[in-house]
Amino acid sequence: MGKSEFVARIVMWLCFATSALSLAVHWRLNNSMKADAHSQVPMSKKVQLSSSQAKPKQQFFLSHNSQATGKQNSSRNLQGAKPNLVVDLSDRRVYVYRQSTVVASYPIGVGKKGWETPTGAFQVMHMQHNPAWRHPITGQVFPAGPNSPLGLRWIGFWTDGHSHIGFHGTPNADVVGNPVSHGCLRMRNSDVVSLYNHVALGTKVEVKQ
């Protein structure tokens, strides 16, 4: 083999080696780029904002949820709190309080002259569905029913051992808001049913002028 032929073969092998090396490098680089591109697709879908951009949104979300939770907790606290009733004879309404919040209010008829509703601090001592009624003067007994003068509910909070005073319904809703009773607080039947559902034996009742 001549010297020129030997050199030619070396050059040819070097060319082969260079081509092979170039192909290998190109193939590895191409696969590496594909792998990087694939690994970043889920990240771009999951993370829409940088951490610095996401923080204010996260703070707003937490604050909003805290406010919502606070409202829910407040509502639950009111429902769990014991009610008390305040009767204002001057505006002829009864107010249902839970803690310091008015949760309901109803118009009432009050005692007429000579039979004024007593003022002071009392508590519910008697509750009855569909009560019968005895007239305080004539002694006539009126049976329970839709036409009973006591309506659908009785919530008593005062007695002298003989007479009794409390909230009750009436079949004559037109008298509500007027001084017409013998000391009791007359209410529309739908209102006294609602009030009945708010109270229990022992519920405090404050009657003020």
pLDDT 10s digits, 52-64: 333 333 333 333 3
Strand partners, 208: 88
Single out the catalytic residue among 38, 64, 164, 184: 184
Instruction: Quote the pLDDT of residue 69.
Output: 38
Nearest-CA neighbor of 181 among 90, 106, 110, 89? 110
- Tens digits of residue pLDDT in 147-164: 889 999 999 999 998 889
* Domain tally, the chain: 2
Residue 39 has pLDDT above 50, yes or no: no
134 neighbors 105 (Cβ within 8 angstroms) = no
- Considering the domain boundaries, does residue 135 fall inside one? yes
Same domain, 146 and 100: yes
What is the band of 37 on the pLDDT scale with cuts at 50, 70, 90? very low
Single out the catalytic residue among 15, 164, 168, 198: 168
Q: Are strands 164-170 and 185-188 parallel, antiparallel or unpaired?
A: parallel
Is 26 noted as a catalytic residue in this protein?
A: no
Q: Which domain holds residue 4?
A: 1-46
Same domain, 41 and 87: no
147 neighbors 126 (Cβ within 8 angstroms) = no
Same domain, 89 and 23: no
Is 184 noted as a catalytic residue in this protein?
A: yes
Same domain, 104 and 199: yes
Specify the CATH number for the domain of residue 177. Answer: 2.40.440.10
Tokens of 38: 């694939």
Same domain, 119 and 32: no
